[in-house]
Each structure stands twice: as C-alpha cells, then as structure tokens.
Amino acid sequence: MTEPLKSSPAALQEEQVDGLVAAAGADGAMAILDAFNRSTVELLNAIGENLREGLLDDASRTAHALKGSAANVGAAALAESGTEIEEACKNGDGAVASARLSDAQQRYLTFCEAFKAHLEKR
C-alpha cells in the first residue's frame, strides 16, 4: 500500500524565477527552462527505468539530482517529489517510489506551464 501524498508546496516559486530573470533576462530564463526540460525528462526516465529494474540505490541518487535541479529553478513541488522518491528508495519501498514518480511527472508538467505563464505576465 502506498502512502498518501503529502500536502505539497506551490508548483512554482515565483521569487526564484524572478531571480533567474533578473540574472539572465527573459530569454536567458527560457534557455534555462529548456535545459531544465531536457535534463528533467532524462532524470524522470532514468528513475523509472531504475525502479522497473529494482535498482533502488540508482533511483535514489537520480531522485537526489532531480531534487536539486528542480530547487534551482523554483520547482518546489517537483523538488519535494524528488525528496519523496529518494526517501522511499532508501527505505527499500519501490512501490511508494513508483507512486511518487507518477506525482513527479505531473508536477513537472504543472511547473512548466506555471513557469511559462509567469514569464508571459511579466
């Protein structure tokens, strides 16, 4: 049985995105989002593959990378998913990790939409 999803932080930390825009400009922030998109898709796919193969240590390390990457761009809810996957893997609970991976995939999509919408309203 999987644990219920914890109450999650906002999909987007606007102040973090505003900091990216201030440092890199709107075009630079979009370039950062593009790079984040590429790496996040790879990380989510790797976590899924690791979980399917029962490689919980590898999935834990990859989830840790996801957590850090997400936090850097203001994707707080996705970073939390990375933490939850990492903890589940460390606890040997592949079922919970898989459920949290599904949450992470949805949170990633929500973040991307929120990031673009935030930039458009600036």
Q: Which domains occur in the chain, in start order?
A: 14-121 (1.20.120.160)
| Single pTM value for the model | 0.89
pLDDT digits (tens, 9 = 90+) for 78-101: 999 999 999 999 999 999 999 999
Residue 4 has pLDDT above 70, yes or no: no
Beta strands in 69-112 (DSSP E): none
Distance CA 100, CA 93 (A): 11
pLDDT digits (tens, 9 = 90+) for 31-63: 999 999 999 999 999 999 999 999 999 999 999
Q: Tokens representing 21? A: 């825009």
